[in-house]
């Protein structure tokens, strides 16, 4: 069994436990009662003409306690305080890990972050059931993660349509040329290139350079994983990333606000003009 398959098996068990407490009609009612979602697509520059979108490298800053590859990263006793620091540093979106078994996250973390910031929030989890999308909206998320490697095309289309019907956006995560083609064919507007192979946890930063040329200019492109310092930020920016998603480097930094500011400044300076 791959790492991804193992994680998803646990996700399904935990999902069934939550669903036994609040059924489908209940979670749909909670989602309908939530305040309208913020526009994460616009926050990431998607509302701009593609030839102008590269004026700023945007940062999706992540609340992340641990990971399957690195183990414990940070205690994060107050995720709201960390998220507020990210927002003060100029982050465009806050990502919150809600998977518990491998990442130490929870929906309580999502609630805390949503109450603390005014910018869009991404619920980062392994979405395998429509229930989780309603759940994300009910807890104030504006953006959900859809991993192409974990979903077939019919399910991906259903999830994208539901996400948009709820007023949210989806970060569609890819790792291979085939997955990028699938994401594009299904109409994804925000595509992430994860340089970490979720089936083996191996990281190949060069994979971003190989794949970015396959993504149309009207799509927001997010570089995921592999950011340890400013040199990594500059690398992704030089290749044309519209945004980077960073967790480990920020949660381990003594001054996350300053780290976000530094990444934005360095990445923006490194970005070339983007061809139309």
Neighbours of 54 (CB within 10 A): 20
Give residue-wise pLDDT tens across range 14-36: 999 999 999 999 999 999 999 99
pLDDT (0 to 100) of residue 273: 66
SS3 196: strand
Nearest to 206 by CA among 195, 191, 193: 195
66 backbone dihedrals φ, ψ, rounded to 5° = -155, 170
> Of the given ranges (66-70, 72-76, 178-182, 222-226), which has the lowest mean pLDDT?
66-70
Mean pLDDT of 158-169: 98
Q: Is the pLDDT of residue 52 over 70?
A: no
Mean pLDDT of 68-83: 91
Q: Is 3-270 in CATH node 3.40.50.300? A: no
Query: In the structure encoding, which two tokens stand for residue 228, read together?
Result: 């340890």
Beta strands in 92-141 (DSSP E): 93-97, 121-124
Strands 190-194 and 143-147: unpaired
Measured distance CA(192)–CA(153) in Å, rounded: 17
Q: Is the pLDDT of residue 49 over 80?
A: no
pLDDT (0 to 100) of residue 166: 98
Measured distance CA(7)–CA(9) in Å, rounded: 5
SS3 92: coil
Give the residue extent of every domain in the chain: 3-270
Measured distance CA(42)–CA(28) in Å, rounded: 26
Measured distance CA(42)–CA(111) in Å, rounded: 22
The fraction of the chain above a pLDDT of 70, given in percent, is 96
Q: Is the dihedral of CA 32, 137, 3, 171 positive or negative?
A: positive
- Active centre residues (catalytic): 62, 64, 124, 173, 194, 224-225
> Of the given ranges (79-88, 129-138, 160-169, 266-275), which has the lowest mean pLDDT?
266-275
């Amino acid at each position: 069994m791959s790492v991804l398959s193992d994680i998803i098996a646990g996700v399904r068990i935990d999902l069934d436990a939550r669903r036994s407490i609040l059924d489908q009609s209940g979670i749909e009612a909670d989602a309908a009662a939530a305040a309208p979602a913020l526009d994460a697509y616009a926050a990431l520059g998607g509302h701009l003409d593609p030839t102008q979108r590269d004026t700023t490298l945007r940062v999706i800053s992540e609340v992340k306690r641990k990971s399957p590859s690195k183990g414990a990263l940070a205690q994060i006793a107050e995720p709201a305080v960390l998220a507020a620091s990210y927002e003060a540093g100029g982050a465009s979106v806050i990502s919150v890990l809600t998977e518990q078994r491998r990442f130490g996250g929870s929906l309580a973390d999502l609630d805390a972050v949503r109450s603390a910031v005014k910018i869009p929030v991404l619920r980062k989890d392994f979405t395998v059931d429509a229930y989780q999308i309603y759940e994300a909206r009910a807890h104030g998320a504006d953006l959900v993660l859809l991993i192409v490697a974990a979903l077939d095309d019919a399910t991906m289309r259903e999830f994208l349509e539901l996400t948009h019907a709820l007023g949210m956006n989806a970060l569609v995560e890819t790792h291979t040329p085939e997955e990028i083609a699938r994401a594009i064919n299904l109409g994804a507007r925000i595509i992430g290139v994860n340089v970490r192979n979720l089936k083996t946890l191996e990281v190949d930063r060069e994979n971003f350079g190989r794949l970015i040329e396959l993504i149309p200019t009207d799509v927001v492109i997010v570089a995921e994983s592999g950011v340890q310092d400013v040199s990594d930020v500059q690398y992704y920016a030089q290749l044309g990333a519209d945004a980077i998603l960073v967790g480990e480097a920020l949660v381990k930094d003594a001054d996350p606000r300053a780290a976000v500011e530094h990444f934005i400044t360095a990445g923006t300076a490194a970005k070339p003009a983007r061809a139309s």
